[in-house]
Amino acid sequence: MSFYVFADGCANLPKQLLDGITLLPCSYLVNDELVTYTGDIEDFDGHAYYEGLKNGDKIKTSLLNTALFLDHFTPIAKDGGEIIYIAMSSGISGTYNAAIAAADELMEEYPDCFIHIVDSHGCGFGNGILALKAAKLSKDGVDCREAAKILDEAVPHACQYFTVDDLNFLKNTGRVSGVTAQIGTILNIKPILFGDSIGHIISCDKVRGRKNAVKAILRKYSEKRMDTDDQTVCISHGDCLDDANQLAEMVKEVNPAANITICQHEPFSGAHVGPGMLGLFFWGKER
């Protein structure tokens, strides 16, 4: 390993993919009760979480603060080590800025260290596939500064397309208006959402019905996927495994070489997209 790679619970990564990646713990409130999440998606009871959301649980998430980054980065910085941290999009969270503040402080105090914060412009596996790429670069002995450049240039190719089953969760977080949510629910309209070039979650299409939404996500994959050595494809879901498995089969028909990972969607952005969220993450020509 030529440098240390950090991510956090928003990266959505299961245990078998965490080799070379250190996950920072995150916390959130469920009905005012504090939950500490280690970041390993296999330790997350997605079924209970999304059932709770259906039944009215109130989730409050918070950013990772600068003190947390200082706690984890300082021992490495003191030894002149090098770090890359993959942050959730600055467009939807203040975590990126908190990490930047910690990195600037430590590099001023310990000039021999180097810390780079990657703004993933994404969430969930949108962070995770960048963390996987960072870990591989480190294992391959790539210089940290060169790896930082490679990762920043890779961000626009980290594609993420998803749909939601209940527009009211997006309404509650201001992503859609109350009128849009009401009309969309009545007409069974499903938005196709993606992380844009500055990390905001926006709609790129609207279709009627769940089956058409899954097909629309697949079309995005067919149009934008890259034929490279890295055929990593990740699917996350808000407790709708059957839909996730169906999407995986459809991806395999388009690209038999796809290396697919399926997991529950992490709790932080999961609170905003709600039960029934279905997302596809992959390397593409553009977002």
Q: How confident is the model at residue 7 (pLDDT cuts 50, 70, 90)?
A: very high
Helix (H) or strand (E) holding 208: strand 201-208
Class of the CATH domain delimited by 4-155: alpha beta
157-283 in CATH: which number? Answer: 3.30.1180.10
Q: How confident is the model at residue 83 (pLDDT cuts 50, 70, 90)?
A: very high
Residue-level length of the chain: 287
* Amino acid letter for position 2: S
* 125/87 Cα distance (integer angstroms): 12
CB distance 10 to 23 below 8 Å: no
- List the chain domain ranges: 4-155, 157-283
* 235/232 Cα distance (integer angstroms): 10
pLDDT tens profile 216-249: 999 999 999 998 889 999 999 999 999 999 999 9
Percent of the chain whose pLDDT exceeds 70: 93
Question: What phi and psi values does residue 200 have, to the nearest 5 degrees?
Answer: -90, 145
In this structure, the strands spanning 22-24 and 4-8 are parallel
pLDDT value of residue 180: 46
Q: Is the pLDDT of residue 138 over 80?
A: yes
pLDDT, mean over the chain: 91
